[in-house]
Amino acid sequence: TGAGAVVMAFIMTPVEIIGKIVKPFALCLRLFANMTAGHFVILSLLGLIFLFANWFIAGGTVAFVLFMMCLELLVAFLQAYIFALLTSVFIGLMQHEH
């Protein structure tokens, strides 16, 4: 009570508001980075075909790219689940308790 509470409320109010605004953007940025990283790995592996210009390397690269695409599909489902879960948690935290 007193001046300390007023100063703390004056400092913490903008911090809380900024935190509530930044959380959804951080969630979107995380989802975008995870989606983009898989594509970069696949494109890098496909670039090995042109770099080495060898049928043996091409066969191995295509097989590994197919494996990576299956793995990326699994990651996409996992990211969608995490995105939905964190979004619901953030919305639940923003609601006022009565």
Task: Report pLDDT digits (tens) over 29-56.
Answer: 887 888 788 888 888 888 878 887 878 7
**pTM of the predicted model over 0.95:** no
Domain boundaries, the chain: 22-94
> Rounded mean pLDDT of the chain?
83
| pLDDT on residue 97 | 65
| pLDDT on residue 96 | 64
Q: What share of the chain in percent tops pLDDT 90?
A: 1
Per-residue pLDDT averaged across 75-87, rounded?
Answer: 85
| pLDDT on residue 34 | 80
> Distance (Å, rounded) from C-alpha 64 to C-alpha 60?
6
> Distance (Å, rounded) from C-alpha 83 to C-alpha 90?
10
Distances (CA, A) of 23 to 11, 26, 86: 19, 5, 10
